[in-house]
C-alpha cells in the first residue's frame, strides 16, 4: 500500500431534471415500467450550452475546495469519459484550463462505466514514481448527446453528470489498498456500443443518417453486470488482503437496481451497505461511482478508517474494483 489517499471529493451535474413522467411523453413507457426495471425515478440532462468539461470542472473545484488544495498544486488530471467535449484535445486539458491547474499533466481515459476505477488505478500506479503528489481523477459524461431518444431501452437509463476525487500521496495506512482491472473484448456488438468510430469508412455529414447513439442488448448486459459486480469486489478484496465481511460500504456502478440487489446477494453483503443514488441521477457511466462517493462523503456516511469497495462494469466489456481505506 502506497498511502495514496482521497482527501477531497466533488460532483457536478445539470440543474435540469427529467423525470420518468417527462420521458413517458417522448416514448411509450411509464414511471412504473422504468422504476420496476431500473430503479431510476429521475435523471439530470444537460442544457444546450453545457458540456462534459463543465460538469467535470465543477466537480474538480469542489473536490479541491474540500481538500484545501489550490488547483495549481495538482500534478495530474485523469478524466474518464466516453462522451468527451471533442476527440482532440483531451477533455482533461479543457478541464485543466477551466480550473486553473496549469501545472498538471492531463489525459483522457475510456473504459466506459469502469473508467473511474481504471483512472484510480492509473493514478495510484503513477504516485509518487512520476513525481506526482496530487492527482485529480474524474468521471464525467454528457450521455444525453449520444442517446437515441426514440429508443426506450436506452433513453430511460442514461444521464449527465460528473464526480471527482483528489488523491494525495501522503504515505501511511489509509488510501487506495488495491485495484482489480478486467476486460473481455470478445463480446459482440451491440451489447453496449456507440458507433461509428474511425472504423466507419463513409463520409459523415448532417442528415446522412449515420447512427451515433448508444445501442445496448439489455438482457445480455444485465447478465454480465450480475457477474461482474461481485467479481470486481472479490478480486479487489483478495488483492488487498481483506475479507468481504470487513467491508463497510460498497459503491457500485449505478446501472440498475436489480443488478445491485443481485450483486449484494452474491457477495453475501447486507444490502444496506450498498450506497445507491441512481433513483435521482440515473446512469452517468464513468460518473456514477465518483458522484455517489461524493454524496456519501458529504452526508458523512464515510468514516475515517472505513473499508470502501468500488465496483464498475460496462462496455468493452470492462469491469474493475478497488478497495480503499478511508
The one catalytic residue among 124, 256, 283, 297? 283
Are residues 284 and 265 both part of a single domain? Answer: yes
Q: What is the pLDDT of residue 95?
A: 98
What pLDDT score was predicted for residue 202? 46
Provide the H-helix boundaries in the chain.
20-23, 31-38, 52-67, 91-99, 115-126, 152-155, 218-240, 257-267, 278-281, 288-298
**How far apart are the C-alpha atoms of 58 and 249, rounded to whole Å?**
26
Q: Angle, to 10 degrees, between the axis of helix 257-267 and the axis of helix 31-38?
A: 20
Kindly report the pTM of this predicted structure. 0.94
In a shared domain, residues 144 and 210: no
Do 16 and 153 belong together in one domain? Answer: yes
* Catalytic residue status for 277: no
pLDDT, residue 204, reads: 43
> What does the alpha-carbon distance between residue 250 and residue 271 come to, in Å, rounded to a whole number?
9
Active site annotation includes 64:
no
Q: What is the CATH number of the domain that holds 70?
A: 3.40.47.10
The dihedral through the CA atoms of 129, 93, 117, 56 has a sign that is positive
> In terms of Cα–Cα distance, which of 286, 287, 304 is closest to 295?
287
166 in the same domain as 44: yes
Indicate whether 144 and 238 sit together in one domain.
no
pLDDT of amino acid 194: 72
Q: At what angle do helices 218-240 and 257-267 cross, to 10 degrees?
A: 40
Count of the separate structural domains present in the chain: 2
Residue-number span of the structural domain to which 124 is assigned: 4-173
Task: Tell me the per-residue pLDDT of 32-88, one tens digit each, with 9 for 90 and over.
Answer: 999 999 999 999 999 999 999 999 999 999 999 999 999 999 999 999 999 999 989
Catalytic residue selected from 64, 93, 113, 122: 113
Question: Does residue 242 share a domain with residue 319?
Answer: yes
Pair (146, 183) in one structural domain? no
Please report the pLDDT score of residue 216 as a whole number.
87
State yes or no: is 283 an active-site residue: yes
Catalytic option among 4, 253, 256, 297: 253
Does residue 300 share a domain with residue 153? no
Residues of the chain predicted below pLDDT 50: 198-209
Residues 256 and 115 in one domain: no
Find where cell 466489456 sits.
317
* 79 in the same domain as 37: yes
Does 183 lie in the same domain as 142? no
Phi, psi of 7 (to 5 degrees): -110, -5
Residues 42 and 160 in one domain: yes
Amino acid at each position: 500500500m502506497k498511502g495514496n489517499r482521497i482527501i477531497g471529493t466533488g460532483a457536478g451535474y445539470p440543474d435540469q431534471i427529467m423525470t420518468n413522467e417527462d420521458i413517458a411523453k417522448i416514448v411509450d413507457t411509464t414511471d412504473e415500467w422504468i422504476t420496476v426495471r431500473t430503479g431510476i425515478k429521475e435523471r439530470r440532462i444537460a442544457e444546450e450550452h453545457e458540456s462534459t468539461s463543465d460538469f467535470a470542472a465543477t466537480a474538480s473545484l469542489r473536490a479541491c475546495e474540500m481538500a484545501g488544495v489550490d488547483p495549481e498544486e495538482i500534478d495530474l488530471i485523469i478524466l474518464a469519459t466516453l462522451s468527451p467535449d471533442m476527440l482532440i484535445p483531451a477533455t482533461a486539458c479543457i478541464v485543466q484550463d477551466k480550473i486553473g491547474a496549469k501545472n498538471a499533466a492531463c489525459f483522457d481515459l475510456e473504459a466506459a462505466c469502469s473508467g473511474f476505477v481504471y483512472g484510480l488505478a492509473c493514478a495510484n500506479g503513477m504516485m509518487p514514481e512520476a513525481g506526482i503528489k496530487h492527482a485529480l481523477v474524474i468521471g464525467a459524461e454528457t450521455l444525453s448527446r449520444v442517446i437515441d431518444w426514440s429508443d426506450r431501452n436506452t433513453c430511460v437509463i442514461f444521464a449527465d453528470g460528473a464526480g471527482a476525487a483528489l488523491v494525495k500521496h501522503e504515505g501511511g495506512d489509509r488510501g487506495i489498498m488495491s485495484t482489480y482491472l478486467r476486460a473481455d473484448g470478445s463480446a459482440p456488438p451491440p451489447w453496449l456500443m456507440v458507433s461509428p468510430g474511425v472504423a466507419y469508412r463513409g463520409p459523415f455529414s448532417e442528415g446522412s443518417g449515420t447512427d451515433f447513439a448508444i445501442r445496448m442488448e439489455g438482457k445480455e448486459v444485465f447478465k454480465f453486470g450480475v457477474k461482474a459486480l461481485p467479481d470486481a469486489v472479490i478480486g479487489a478484496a483478495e488483492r488487498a488482503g481483506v475479507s468481504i465481511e470487513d467491508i463497510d460500504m460498497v459503491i457500485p456502478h449505478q446501472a440498475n437496481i436489480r443488478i445491485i440487489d443481485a450483486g449484494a446477494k452474491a457477495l453475501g453483503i447486507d444490502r444496506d451497505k450498498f450506497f445507491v443514488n441512481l433513483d435521482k441521477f440515473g446512469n452517468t457511466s464513468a460518473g456514477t461511482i465518483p458522484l455517489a462517493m461524493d454524496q456519501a462523503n458529504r452526508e458523512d456516511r464515510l468514516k475515517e478508517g472505513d473499508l470502501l469497495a468500488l465496483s464498475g462494469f460496462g462496455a468493452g466489456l470492462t469491469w474493475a474494483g478497488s478497495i480503499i481505506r478511508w
